[in-house]
Amino acid sequence: MKRIMGLDFGAKTVGVAVSDPLGITAQGVEVIVREREDKLRRTLARLEELIAQYQVERIVVGCPRHMNGDFGERAEKSRAFAERLSERTGLPTELWDERLTTVAAERVLMESGVRREHRKEYVDKIAAVFILQGYLDSL
């Protein structure tokens, strides 16, 4: 079985996670640092490399919603990114509600004793794991 990729798409970074081949668990892969919010070429190229490396067949992109369920500006950017990624890779992409994943990721890092100044390095990757794991658990 091929893998599913989970992405925490942000203005400055993209957290990346992939499932195991059986689609049961999500593992963090890396955080892609974006040079500018309006530039995607390098980000998309790196994602294509990871898609090939992990033999990804589907992509789940976190979609931030307000607590009342409404979609905001970031959600629209995530939707546009997911569409562009799907067009470029030919893979199906789905949006997944990512409410509170960053908060949960911060909590895990805090409870694990990761110092505040180092949390930024990991939080987006952990958030991507939570997004993907939520999706896998729903299947």
pLDDT digits (tens, 9 = 90+) for 43-83: 999 999 999 999 999 999 999 876 676 777 888 999 999 99
The pTM is what?
0.89
Give the residues across from 30 on adjacent strands. 16
pLDDT digits (tens, 9 = 90+) for 83-104: 999 999 999 999 998 866 776 7
- Please report the beta strands in 2-138, taking only residues with DSSP state E, as ranges in sequence order: 3-9, 13-19, 26-33, 56-63, 93-97
Question: Which CATH architecture does the domain made up of 3-138 adopt?
Answer: 2-Layer Sandwich (3.30)
Question: Confidence band (pLDDT; 50, 70, 90) for 105?
Answer: confident
pLDDT digits (tens, 9 = 90+) for 5-47: 999 999 899 999 999 999 999 999 999 999 888 889 999 999 9
Contact 74, 100 (CB under 8 A): no
